[in-house]
């Protein structure tokens, strides 16, 4: 279970809806992954009056998965706030994944404007999930602004590099133990999703790693299994790594022929 803003979701995996080969592949991928939420860009959805837009709307309704609109592509506070308000009207939800990009090449979040936009939207009644970096101080400012969930990146969007700054993410998890943290962007393999879940992160959000893979449906299923396995491993309290070997079987009662004199 994933608990955010006092609401529960059936899976710790969130799935994007962009760049799939066909709408049918998208539908099958969502069905295979059974994500807690699917993210949708207002710009991706298009106008309901357009044939493509209407078809996409119909597909979203058929999948019956909670929708998390996002402000993808926004580069200013006003643009992000306006897009969020439009998304609330269109999708009839107060949930918003807040993206505010500061660099066109890395698609790195502008954490300064992000805090300002988050404060405005929270005051307007939104449940804000900000896409941010792993910077501890920036994350604290977002919490001070009223965010109850953070979505730090593992690596730049669409790169599939996996975790670039392991130390920073582990510190973030350690220093914000009571804050839901969802890894957003940069994961490329199910093993990477399992890894961050083993560290104690609360969920992962994926798009490119699934939609642009050779077989999105099977990849979606693989990420769902990896996310679940990683969370189960974390809750099972893994043994601590150690330098020295330690036998898993007792030495007492061994046959004489195992002695050093043999």
Residues in the chain, how many? 262
Annotated binding residues for 1-deoxy-D-xylulose 5-phosphate, as ranges? 158, 185-186, 207-208
Q: Is 170 a catalytic residue?
A: no
* 77 Cβ contact list (under 8 Å, min separation 6): 100, 113, 116, 117, 120
Catalytic one among 97, 119, 127, 170? 97
Q: Count Cβ atoms below 10 Å from residue 30 Cβ, excluding itself.
A: 24
Parallel, antiparallel, or unpaired for β 151-152 and 7-9? unpaired
Query: Can you tell me the distance from the alpha carbon of 186 to that of 68, in angstroms, rounded to the nearest whole number?
Result: 19
Q: What is the phi/psi pair of residue 43, to 5°?
A: -70, -35
Annotated binding residues, as ranges? 158, 185-186, 207-208
Positions marked active-site: 97
């Amino acid at each position: 279970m994933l608990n955010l803003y006092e609401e529960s979701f059936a899976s710790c995996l969130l799935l994007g809806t962009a760049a799939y080969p066909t709408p049918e592949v998208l539908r099958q991928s969502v069905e295979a992954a059974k994500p807690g939420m699917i993210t949708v860009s207002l710009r991706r959805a298009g106008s309901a009056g357009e044939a493509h837009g209407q078809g996409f709307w119909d597909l979203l309704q058929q999948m019956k998965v909670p929708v998390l609109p996002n402000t993808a592509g926004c580069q200013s506070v006003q643009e992000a706030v306006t897009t969020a308000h439009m998304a609330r009207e269109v999708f009839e939800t107060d949930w918003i994944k807040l993206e505010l990009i500061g660099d066109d090449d890395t698609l790195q979040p502008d954490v300064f404007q992000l805090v300002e936009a988050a404060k405005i939207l929270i005051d307007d009644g939104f449940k804000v999930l900000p896409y941010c970096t792993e910077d501890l101080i920036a994350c604290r400012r977002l919490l001070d602004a009223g965010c109850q969930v953070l979505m730090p990146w593992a690596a730049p969007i669409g790169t599939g590099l996996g975790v670039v700054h392991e130390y920073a993410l582990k510190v973030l998890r350690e220093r914000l133990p009571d804050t839901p943290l969802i890894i957003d962007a940069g994961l490329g393999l199910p093993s990477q999703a399992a890894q961050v879940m083993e560290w104690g992160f609360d969920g992962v959000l994926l798009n490119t790693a699934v939609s642009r893979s050779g077989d999105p449906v099977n990849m979606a299923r693989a990420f769902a299994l990896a996310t679940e396995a990683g969370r189960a491993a974390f809750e099972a309290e893994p043994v601590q790594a150690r330098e020295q070997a330690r036998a898993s079987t007792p030495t007492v009662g061994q046959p004489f022929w195992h002695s050093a004199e043999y």
